[in-house]
Amino acid sequence: MSMLFRSLALLLLAVPLAASPAVGQYQALAHGERVISVGPPIPPKQAEPDSSPKRLPSPPCTVDCEKAANRNAPAAPAAAPTGDSVLQINRPQNHVDAAVPADKPDDLPAPPDLAAQLREATANFQHDLNQANQRIDHLTKQLQLCEQAAAKQAEAKPALEKLQATIEAMRKTHAEELAAADVRLKTLVDEISAGLASKREMQQQREQALKSKLAEQMQSLQKQAAAAKMEAIAKAEENRELAEQFEATKKLHAQNVTRFGERAEEMKALMIERSKAVDAASKQVRELRGTLANKLRALEDSLATTELMKKKTAELEKQSAAMEKEHQAALDQLKQANKRNESLQRRQKSLEKELTALKRNRDSDRRDDKKRKPKKKRDDK
């Protein structure tokens, strides 16, 4: 029935609608029907062959569709006066007949939109046809794949049989190898158990020997520790003696430093002309003090530098002695300069006396000259 309805819809779309007389239309519409007057029957169209052999061709619409529709539809109450054939569409089942008088055609209900229904039916039919074609294509591809797989299976059948035969042979050889391996494993287990027993005895003997060696080593280590303690005690005593010696040298050095400072102050007070030399000496003394302090700190860390400090103190004493000699020489020079100054002062005094005597003689000579010279007479003007 669905195919019949679709063919009928295609036929109605292809056939142009013809106008029927008003009386026939009113009578048909009064019973809820619409009469369409058509021309002579349309010959069926020849369907074009599709490129794909598996697609279903569109069903051709022929006059048989119209005859089948007339057989299934009930008889119409009135025939259309015009047209060679009449196509009648049944009213819907849920349609309610309305008592409409024949003399009032304007109050009749509006006829249903058959064109929209036909378009919808055509769209549905086309959709179903496309789905069927897609399904056919899918099944065709599956069939081709199945045929290819069957061909491959037919080609691979002798290889598969050969492979099964080789697998059976390998299974047999594997079973034989497993049996031989079990026998070898049993013999190896027996040999290993015997070897383990002998190895345990050897290991116990080695452990006893190692224990005896460890005991001897512990005794020797204890003896070495006792000797090391005695050596540490002796070294501590030596360090104590060295510390006492260091303190004595430190005190001696402090005394030397104080004495050297006093001497430097005396030299600074006495040597006025040699002030620059005294400043340099004091700067050198400060540097020596700094170096001596650094040396003393180094002596606290290492006792080997005590001899070096003694040498430095001896050198400083030598330097102080040399500076004392220089100071004495400077004092001698100062005394000589004082003596020279005194002699110069005496000479200056004698020269001053001689100068005063000369001045006196000069004054006396002038007075004598004045007495000897005659007085000048005044010129009379």
pLDDT, tens only, 69-81: 555 554 444 444 4
- Asked whether residue 322 carries a pLDDT value surpassing 50, the answer given is yes
The domain boundary residue, chosen from 59, 88, 112: 112
Question: Would you say residue 369 lies in a domain?
Answer: no
Tell me, yes or no, whether 346 lies in a domain: no
319 is in which domain, residue-wise?
Answer: 231-340
Say if 135 falls within a structural domain: no
In a domain, 36, yes or no: yes
pLDDT for res 273: 67
Q: CA-to-CA distance for 169 and 174, rounded, in angstroms?
A: 8
Give the pLDDT band (50/70/90) at residue 41. Answer: very low
Residue 367 has pLDDT above 70, yes or no: yes
Structural domain contains residue 133 = no
Residue 316 has pLDDT above 80, yes or no: yes
Residue 61 lies in a domain: yes
Task: Kindly tell me if the per-residue pLDDT of 114 is higher than 70.
Answer: no
- Is residue 366 over pLDDT 70? yes
Picking from 112, 141, 158, the residue at the C-terminal end of a domain is 112
Average pLDDT over residues 174-189: 76
Q: Confidence class of residue 66 from pLDDT cuts 50, 70 and 90?
A: low
Q: How many domains does the chain have?
A: 2
d(CA 226, CA 232): 10
For Cα atoms 40, 114, 3, give the angle at the middle one, nearest 5 degrees: 70
Quick check: 64 and 43 in contact, CB under 8 A? no
Residues 303-329 have a mean pLDDT of 80
pLDDT (average), residues 308-328: 84
Tell me, what's the pLDDT at 104?
46
**Which of 58-72, 187-201, 337-351 is the least confident region?**
58-72
Query: In whole numbers, what is the pLDDT of the chain averaged over residues?
Result: 71
268 in any annotated domain: yes
Three-state secondary structure call for residue 2: helix
Q: What's the confidence (pLDDT) of residue 56?
A: 46
Report yes or no on 284 lying in a domain: yes
* Residue at which a domain ends, from 90, 112, 134: 112
pLDDT at 23: 46
**Whether 20 contacts 37, CB under 8 Å:** yes
